[in-house]
Amino acid sequence: DHGHDHDHGHDHGDDHGHDHDHGHDHGDDHGHDHDHGHDHGDDHGHDGDHDHGHDHNHDHDHDHHHAHDKEDLGIAVVTVSSSRTVADDPSGDAIVAAVEDAGHEVPIREIVTDDYDGVQGTVDTMVDREDVDAVVTTGGTGVTPDDVTVDAVSPLLDKRLPGFGELFRRLSYDEIGTRVVGTRAVAGASEGVLVFCLPGSENAARLGIEEVILPEVGHLAGLATRDDDEE
């Protein structure tokens, strides 16, 4: 009845009644954050697809400092591959170089085959180490039968970071277009230790570590362990 009492005065005001409806559209996006990570595929065939000029755009790594940020982190590196060796691991080399250039340490680096139990056990062991604040894996994030990294690591994560995969794919899209749907890059925290899973190509690994992980890992590591530090 209230709407009819003021027919003339509210002719233009009715539009406002719809403004709030649109505000709820964005909430739905969050419900699908985890869905995207499981539909995407093959990073093995993309070794050359990430060949772009992001190598030198990392001056912003230390721009954002907060009270709980951690510095001098220990970042473990895991290469998931049945063919790579320590002497022939360009993706792992790129991650290690970026980590050390940023002033952090790599306390342990391993290569593990494309085996579910092997990948899960290796990452779980690294998470338990006192000198590890974060773990970065490279390889096995696609949809081939051998791509088991995301499946093996996901059960270890007690908190997901969907924004990591979203941003990684967004940055990759600028270079390789819709082929970004072929990666299930994922991240999260396991018992206060951050875990990031990147594709196996060297350029994808470099993009992920330099453009996404290193700018935020200190802040995220501080947040992930803040309650422990304060108790």
Please state the rounded mean pLDDT for residues 43-64. Answer: 41
Domain count, the chain: 1
Kind of pairing between the strands at 193-198 and 134-138 = parallel
Instruction: Tell me the pairing of strands 193-198 and 75-80.
Output: unpaired
pLDDT tens per residue across span 103-118: 999 999 999 999 999 9
Whether the predicted pLDDT of 138 surpasses 60: yes
Range of the domain at 106: 39-47+70-226
Gap between the terminal Cα atoms of the chain? 57
Q: Which residue has the higher pLDDT, 176 or 81?
A: 81
Rounded Cα distance between 145 and 198, Å, is 17
At residue 216, what is the residue type? E
Question: pLDDT-derived band of residue 17, with 50, 70 and 90 as boundaries?
Answer: very low
User: What CATH number has the domain bearing residue 208?
Assistant: 3.40.980.10
Q: CB of 84 within 8 A of CB of 109? A: no
In whole angstroms, give the CA distance from residue 184 to residue 199.
8
> If we measure between CA atoms, which residue out of 25, 118, 139, 132 comes closest to residue 73?
132
Q: Which residues contact 34 (CB under 8 A, 6 or more apart)?
A: 160, 162
Q: Is residue 15 part of a domain?
A: no
Residue listed under structure tokens 């088991």: 148
Residue 56 within a domain = no
In a domain, 164, yes or no: yes
- 181 located within any domain: yes
Kindly state whether residue 34 falls inside one of the protein's structural domains: no
Q: Does pTM top 0.85 for this prediction?
A: no
Query: Does residue 55 belong to any structural domain of this protein?
Result: no
Note whether residue 58 is domain-resident: no
pLDDT at 118: 98
Q: Tell me: the pLDDT tens digits for 178-218?
A: 999 999 999 999 999 999 999 999 999 999 999 999 999 99
- Is position 54 within any domain? no
CA distances from 204 to 6, 12, 125 (A): 61, 52, 25
